[in-house]
Amino acid sequence: MQIPPELNTSQRILLGPGPSNVHPRVLRAMAQPLVGHLDPEFVAIMDEVRGMLRAVMRTSNEMTFAISAPGSAGMEAALVNLLEPGDEALICIHGVFGGRMADIAERCDARVTRVEAEWGHPIDPDDVKKALANLRPKLVAIVHAETSTGVRQPLEEISRMAREAGALFVVDAVTSLGGIDVRTDEWGIDVLYSGTQKCLSAPPGLSPITFSERALEAVSKRRTKVRSWFLDVSLLRNYWSGGQRAYHHTAPVSMAFALREALRIVLEEGLEARFARHQKNHQILRDALAELGFSFLVDREFRLPELNAVLVPAGIDEAAVRRRLLDVYDIEVGGGLGPLAGKIWRIGLMGESSSLNNINALTGALRTILG
Amino acid sequence: MQIPPELNTSQRILLGPGPSNVHPRVLRAMAQPLVGHLDPEFVAIMDEVRGMLRAVMRTSNEMTFAISAPGSAGMEAALVNLLEPGDEALICIHGVFGGRMADIAERCDARVTRVEAEWGHPIDPDDVKKALANLRPKLVAIVHAETSTGVRQPLEEISRMAREAGALFVVDAVTSLGGIDVRTDEWGIDVLYSGTQKCLSAPPGLSPITFSERALEAVSKRRTKVRSWFLDVSLLRNYWSGGQRAYHHTAPVSMAFALREALRIVLEEGLEARFARHQKNHQILRDALAELGFSFLVDREFRLPELNAVLVPAGIDEAAVRRRLLDVYDIEVGGGLGPLAGKIWRIGLMGESSSLNNINALTGALRTILG
């Protein structure tokens, strides 16, 4: 066959829904020659990654680690470990990713009750309250930062309701972790998972996840085996923790190097400073986009600073403009998903991508294209 | 918290059961700044990877791609897509990985019939024949290169039997692909999966996989949804192929860059030349190890050139010697698994790791330590 030529990609400014741009330090760490996945040096790296993830997730959970696959596998890991056939699950849906949770829970043969909000709005805690009046679910699951709509979902009130109903509280923090505050323990979250390619600014391929003791106890009380061998936390526990590491699968060594370096950068900046940077840059982008005629899908109170869902002004061929941004300016912004396709853009200012220069590049390009 | 220092790993010679050493070209490609996973440039890269995988797997299957997780997720993808509750599965077990297949098939609630061989020996086709006399299984699954024992399993006769019994034929080629011949189409294989970190010499993190049309037809005839959303090939199909790529998960972009470069290197060398190199180096290692008192677990006819399972001479503290190899010489060799723990070493000569210099480094170190 014809062997393809040397890799030769464009230098993109990544302002879509992820991946975000990756710091050269992370790329360099990733390109370090490999050590074996059971090498004592790699075991130490796993422990360092776990320690830094605990700091970023604000948890003291022992079972904090990274699933060896992207964020959607983290979602599957959370649900497939907790749910057995016939279990009740209350799934909150205000965008694509809540819907995906329900799909996965149904594949676990759980009985799913849906609480929904219109896309662009957060879930109303009163609706959760009503649903819980007639239900004692094993878990309540919700998306903290809905990547399809740009909504920040307040969690504390719903967490309290879940706890009072005797349910475990599962949170998707794929697009929030490292960009806005995520307080796993303080907010009573039992399982929280994320991705590496959003506000942590590592390449995609791992899913940081944490299980509370309550969640692990629920896993240990299962009557049936976890349906996924690859994601079974009772097996992963012996690979990621304890004195003698038991072989399970082969962890993505280079990705772990990358995540380690990305987490170092997050902690060097400091969580509060990082959240403030995301918030400040969001406000600068918001003002610049307002001048260009874009308005926000989401009410101010619930906007994610790292994912700006904006309505494209009437009369603009949004797909053509996005293509021009990519082809001429090397700038990626995201289109809408599902019912929002063709109507909104999703402009990510995540991790390394959240910078003044990137905002100026985008708004400058838009002024030229639209002006 | 105390932020860990800069990554600073040792320069290992990786002669264990994987990962193998990675060529600097692959590390460099992996460290290329990212493009978005739906970027037209990345879609082109996906297509190039698929084309090269078809060449290496010797298949014309359209649905040839890479699962976004390591080889054991490829195993789960093969089985979870094909098996529904109550389906019959004939699983051949001659080591750890056949046993893992049976575990996963049982988690699919399939009815599993096991055909076993003593560890260190291949499955006897006559035993498969006997099992098939009373069974019409949906699939027959077997490991081509058993990483726990170093056995090369001949496939053609068992493939014919599976076909005659109306079963799909599923093959684990994690440790064979790129090191010994794998003829997916000619050998009548319906689903074949591999890993990147063995004879392909890319970092771990992806699982190349191929589905025949017969296999995809079986998936389309399922009465129930595939239990894993993340591994559902009917969803992955729309992400990896066709004109309009539908968002599913976020592919590990950097790992795809790495795999692309690793496959280019495999095809530049040429499959036949690569197999010959693995075979020649195996023979050189074999002769050197014989002088040191090591003998092979596996009969000559069934030895894998890329994974040398050798009995450690009596009187040697094998764990201490392996530790000394690692600490003093930066050489990793693998210990035994399960019943072979403490008895054998698994010396990998996979991909980039299969070189004269590596053999001389290992045997020289062993002469000093043991002499």
- CA B145 remoteness from chain centre: 7
pLDDT at residue A242, rounded to an integer: 79
Q: Minimal Cα–Cα distance from B278 to chain A, Å?
A: 21
CB contact under 8 A, A252 and B73: no
Cα–Cα distance for residue pair A175/A92, rounded to 1 Å: 17
Which stretches does DSSP call E strand in A212-319? 295-296, 307-311
Lookup: tokens for B77: 């993808």
Condensed to tens digits (0 to 9), the pLDDT of residues B96-129 reads: 999 999 999 999 999 999 999 999 999 999 999 9
pLDDT at A114 over 90: yes
pLDDT at A266 over 90: yes
User: Are B150 and B93 within one domain?
Assistant: yes
Sequence-ordered list of residues with C-beta below 8 angstroms from that of A203, at least 6 positions apart, any chain: A19, A22, A26, A30, A196, A197, A255, A258, B34, B252, B253, B254, B255
- Average model confidence (pLDDT) for chain B? 97
pLDDT at A305 over 90: yes
Cα–Cα distance for residue pair A115/A94, rounded to 1 Å: 9
List Cα–Cα distances, B203 to A74, A201, A238, A268, A328, in angstroms: 21, 20, 22, 28, 33
Nearest residue of chain A to residue B110 (CA atoms):
A227
Size of interface A-B (CB pairs under 8 A): 237
Cα–Cα distance for residue pair A293/A310, rounded to 1 Å: 10
pLDDT at residue B84, rounded to an integer: 98
Nearest residue of chain B to residue A332 (CA atoms):
B36
Q: Count Cβ atoms below 10 Å from residue A357 Cβ, excluding itself.
A: 8
- Average model confidence (pLDDT) for chain A? 97
pLDDT at A231 over 90: yes
Contact of A339 with A158, CB cutoff 8 Å: no
Contact of B289 with B363, CB cutoff 8 Å: yes
Contact of B13 with B353, CB cutoff 8 Å: yes
CB contact under 8 A, A255 and B252: yes
Which domain-ending residue is among B233, B267, B301?
A: B267
pLDDT at B346 over 80: yes
Measured between beta carbons, which residues in chain B are less than 8 angstroms from residue A6? 264
A209: β partners: A65, A193
Contact of B205 with A255, CB cutoff 8 Å: yes
Task: Report helix angle B71-82 to B213-220, nearest 10.
Answer: 60
Nearest residue of chain A to residue B70 (CA atoms):
A250
Instruction: Give me the sign of the Cα torsion angle B2, B6, B10, B13.
Output: positive
pLDDT at residue A244, rounded to an integer: 80
Domain-located, residue B211: yes
pLDDT at residue B1, rounded to an integer: 82
> Residue B11, SS3?
coil
Domain-located, residue B5: no
Domain-located, residue A346: yes
Contact of A123 with A274, CB cutoff 8 Å: no
Q: Minimal Cα–Cα distance from B163 to chain A, Å?
A: 28
pLDDT at residue B243, rounded to an integer: 75
Lookup: tokens for B50: 């698929």
pLDDT at A88 over 90: yes
Domain-located, residue B3: no
Percent of chain A with pLDDT over 90: 98
pLDDT at residue A248, rounded to an integer: 94
Which domain-ending residue is among A267, A295, A321?
A: A267
Nearest residue of chain B to residue A174 (CA atoms):
B250
Q: Minimal Cα–Cα distance from A38 to chain B, Å?
A: 10
Summarize the confidence of residues B73-94 as an average pLDDT. Answer: 98
Q: Minimal Cα–Cα distance from A230 to chain B, Å?
A: 6
Measured between beta carbons, which residues in chain B are less than 8 angstroms from residue A250? 18-19, 70-72, 195, 197, 204
Lookup: tokens for A338: 């599902």
Nearest residue of chain B to residue A326 (CA atoms):
B39
Domain-located, residue A113: yes
> Residue B220, SS3?
helix
CB contact under 8 A, A34 and B52: no
Domain residues for the domain of B149 are: 24-267
DSSP A166: T
Q: Minimal Cα–Cα distance from A133 to chain B, Å?
A: 30
CB contact under 8 A, B230 and A72: yes
Q: In terms of Cα–Cα distance, which of A334, A266, A253 is closest to A16?
A: A334
Q: For strand A145-146 and strand A151-152, is the pairing parallel, antiparallel, or unpaired?
A: antiparallel
User: Are A132 and A224 within one domain?
Assistant: yes
List Cα–Cα distances, B160 to B130, B140, B239, in angstroms: 14, 11, 33
* CATH number of the structural domain spanning residue B254: 3.40.640.10
Mutate to test the interface with A, among B9, B346, B358 (most CBs of A within 10 A): B9
pLDDT at residue A144, rounded to an integer: 98
User: Are A287 and A364 within one domain?
Assistant: yes
Q: Minimal Cα–Cα distance from A129 to chain B, Å?
A: 29
Q: For strand B344-348 and strand B331-335, is the pairing parallel, antiparallel, or unpaired?
A: antiparallel
Mutate to test the interface with B, among A249, A253, A327 (most CBs of B within 10 A): A249
Residue from the list B108, B203, B252 with its beta carbon closest to the beta carbon of A204: B252
> Residue B13, SS3?
strand
User: Are A93 and A194 within one domain?
Assistant: yes
Q: How many CA atoms lie within 13 A of A186 on its CB side?
A: 7
Condensed to tens digits (0 to 9), the pLDDT of residues A49-79 reads: 999 999 999 999 999 999 999 999 999 999 9
pLDDT at residue A243, rounded to an integer: 74
pLDDT at residue B371, rounded to an integer: 85
User: Are A216 and A316 within one domain?
Assistant: no
Mutate to test the interface with B, among A26, A34, A59 (most CBs of B within 10 A): A34
Condensed to tens digits (0 to 9), the pLDDT of residues B189-242 reads: 999 999 999 999 999 999 999 999 999 999 999 999 999 999 999 999 999 987
Domain-located, residue A248: yes
Q: Minimal Cα–Cα distance from A339 to chain B, Å?
A: 14
Q: Minimal Cα–Cα distance from A290 to chain B, Å?
A: 26
Which domain-ending residue is among B242, B267, B292?
A: B267
pLDDT at residue B170, rounded to an integer: 98
User: Are B155 and B46 within one domain?
Assistant: yes
Rg (alpha carbons) of chain B, rounded to whole number: 21
A309: β partners: A346
Measured between beta carbons, which residues in chain B are less than 8 angstroms from residue A27? 31-33
Mutate to test the interface with A, among B2, B80, B229 (most CBs of A within 10 A): B229
User: Are A166 and A262 within one domain?
Assistant: yes
User: Are B59 and B160 within one domain?
Assistant: yes
pLDDT at B57 over 90: yes
What ipTM was estimated for this complex?
0.98
* CATH number of the structural domain spanning residue A337: 3.90.1150.10
Mutate to test the interface with A, among B1, B43, B96, B250 (most CBs of A within 10 A): B250
A208: β partners: A66
Q: ∠ CA(A352), CA(A357), CA(A362), 5° rounding?
A: 100
User: Are B194 and B329 within one domain?
Assistant: no
- 3-class SS string, A167-225: CEEEEECCCCECCECCCCCCCCCCEEECCCCCCCCCCCCCEEEEECHHHHHHHHCCCCC
Percent of chain A with pLDDT over 70: 100
Cα–Cα distance for residue pair B226/A104, rounded to 1 Å: 10
Domain-located, residue B8: no
Domain-located, residue B72: yes
CB contact under 8 A, A254 and B251: no
Contact of A57 with A186, CB cutoff 8 Å: no
In a 10 Å sphere around its CB, with 0-12 CB exposed, 13-18 middle and 19+ buried, how is residue A284 labelled? middle
- At B245, the pLDDT band (50, 70, 90 cuts) reads confident
List Cα–Cα distances, B291 to B283, B285, B363, B366, B371, in angstroms: 13, 10, 10, 11, 11
User: Are B236 and B355 within one domain?
Assistant: no
How many domains does chain B fold into?
2
DSSP B2: P
List Cα–Cα distances, B59 to A98, B47, B192, B240, B356, in angstroms: 38, 15, 10, 17, 31
User: Are A229 and A253 within one domain?
Assistant: yes
User: Are A226 and A287 within one domain?
Assistant: no
Condensed to tens digits (0 to 9), the pLDDT of residues A337-369 reads: 999 999 999 999 999 999 999 999 999 999 999
